[in-house]
Amino acid sequence: MNEFITVYSAEMSRRLKSRAFRIGLIVGLAGVILFIKLPALLGGAFDTNGKTIVLSGDPALTARARTLLKKDFSIVGTSTQTSPPDPAFMKAHQDAGADVILARIKTGLRATVYARDPGNMDSTRLRRDLLPLNLQLATSLTQSRISSLLEMPVDIRTVASKFGSAAEADAARAVAYTLIFFLYFLILFNSQLLMSSVAEEKTSRIAELLVASIDPLALLYGKIAAAATLAIVQMVIWVVTAALLGGGASSGGAEAAAAPSSGALSGLGVIPPFELAGFFIFFILGYLQLAMLFASAGSLISRTEDLGSVSGPLIIPVIGALFIAIAALGFPDAPWIVGASLVPLIAPFVMFARIAVSNVPVWQVALSLVINVAAVWVISILAGRLYRVGMLLYGRTPKLRQVWATIRG
């Protein structure tokens, strides 16, 4: 136990001081912040052209249209001019992106838009917003009658779902989507850092001194535990940051609507405890499985240049698991998804996705946990064998057949 604690604390200290960890933490944090804040900031900048408009035409029409359009457009002025605007006109109206000329016609309302960037003008939204006025002019129905007709009640209900409404389900899916990426990034990033650390010990030739001093398994597990601790620290920092910033974004209403990704992250602040527990447990299981594989693979190489060749085959199942997990958000109960949620290496991602968006039967969660805990145990034995031999192996990276022979003992 003492050996384990010594390795654990030394590894923690080394990793905290390492450039890779610091850069990873900062880049991840910056990524979270950008993910939340940038869409809203850039969205506003890009949409200015299409959103700032001047309403022109009959004052009775423009006054009514102003009320209808204000939720989606920024109206910078009104005018009675019905001729095409020139650049001076646009400049005079706060450099508006478009001039919308409204005219009453026999069949209702006609809108002619002179936009500086026609491609950026959202005509669908304009048509939808002006629909009540168009109907009023075409049918002579009262404004309140038209409003009630347009607000036909549509009640979407879910069948055997954990969510009360479609909106709630969408929000949960968005949160789960984000967390799956967190899971993917955390597991892969930290497993690869661990692999580099093992490879560094191997290539710097300190490995032999270490395995002569302590049980190689204590060395391996101490390193894995230290990396897991720091991964959890990273995870907490990122998730809390996302929850705090996302919470702020959610109050922005229109901003959040304009940037769905930030809206997804805003939901991180209200993750159900069961889902949070699932995220944590499957993170630990997934991390342990992959970290042990990456560490034992790292012990096989003699030169850091060979890291890519041994890590490549291990990354493929993780990428596969990510895609399956994303699919699981849409089809959580499809038989192949249920099957995948039991398979080691893949299950940590897929089962978490299923838990986040559906009512997974308890027996399936329990079975997945049992299989994956057993997988951790089996992988620890096999990885331990490989690591014990690999740390003393120099020269060419062993072939798959030799690796298999080592694993079989």
Quick check: 213 binds another protein (CB under 8 A)? yes
Quick check: 174 binds another protein (CB under 8 A)? no
* Non-local CB neighbours of 324 within 8 Å, separated by 6+ positions: 337, 340, 346, 349, 350
Calpha distance 94→70 (Å, rounded): 16
Calpha distance 356→350 (Å, rounded): 10
Quick check: 23 binds another protein (CB under 8 A)? no
Closest to another protein by CB, 196 vs 402, is 402
3-state secondary structure of 311: helix
Which residue has tokens 């991180």? Answer: 268
Quick check: 302 binds another protein (CB under 8 A)? no
Q: How far is the CB of 397 from another protein (least distance, A)?
A: 15
Q: What are the strands of the beta sheet with 98-105, ordered from one edge?
A: 74-79, 52-57, 98-105, 108-115
Amino acid at 245: L
Q: How far is the CB of 202 from another protein (least distance, A)?
A: 9
Q: Can you point out the beta strands (E) in 221-265?
A: none
Footprint of another protein on 185-204 (CB under 8 A): 201, 204
User: Residue 199 CB: number of other CB atoms within 10 A?
Assistant: 26
Q: How far is the CB of 388 from another protein (least distance, A)?
A: 9
Contact window for another protein (CB under 8 A) among 89-97, 112-120, 212-220, 331-339: 212-220
Helix runs in 151-215, H state only? 166-203, 207-213
Calpha distance 354→346 (Å, rounded): 12
Calpha distance 228→109 (Å, rounded): 64
Footprint of another protein on 388-407 (CB under 8 A): 392, 394, 402
Closest to another protein by CB, 30 vs 392, is 392
3-state secondary structure of 303: coil
Calpha distance 95→51 (Å, rounded): 12
Amino acid at 251: S
Quick check: 206 binds another protein (CB under 8 A)? yes
Contact window for another protein (CB under 8 A) among 2-10, 39-47, 262-270, 377-385: 2-10
Q: How far is the CB of 3 from another protein (least distance, A)?
A: 6
Query: Which of 86, 95, 215, 305: binder of another protein (CB under 8 A)?
Result: 215
Calpha distance 77→94 (Å, rounded): 8
Quick check: 17 binds another protein (CB under 8 A)? yes
3-state secondary structure of 78: strand
Query: Which of 10, 167, 240, 277: binder of another protein (CB under 8 A)?
Result: 10
Which residue has tokens 């607000």? Answer: 151
Query: Which of 7, 137, 172, 329: binder of another protein (CB under 8 A)?
Result: 7
Q: How far is the CB of 199 from another protein (least distance, A)?
A: 13
Structural Rg of the chain based on CA atoms: 29
Closest to another protein by CB, 221 vs 282, is 221
Number of residues that bind another protein (CB under 8 A): 24
Q: How far is the CB of 52 from another protein (least distance, A)?
A: 55
Query: Which of 6, 120, 241, 397: binder of another protein (CB under 8 A)?
Result: 6
Query: Which of 68, 138, 146, 210: binder of another protein (CB under 8 A)?
Result: 210
How far out from the chain centre does Cα 53 lie?
Answer: 35
Closest to another protein by CB, 250 vs 402, is 402
Query: Which of 212, 316, 362, 400: binder of another protein (CB under 8 A)?
Result: 212
Q: How far is the CB of 227 from another protein (least distance, A)?
A: 16
Query: Which of 86, 95, 117, 208: binder of another protein (CB under 8 A)?
Result: 208
Helix runs in 267-399, H state only? 273-298, 307-330, 335-340, 347-357, 362-390
Which residues are at the interface with another protein (CB under 8 A)? 2-3, 6-7, 10, 14, 17-18, 201, 204-215, 392, 394, 402
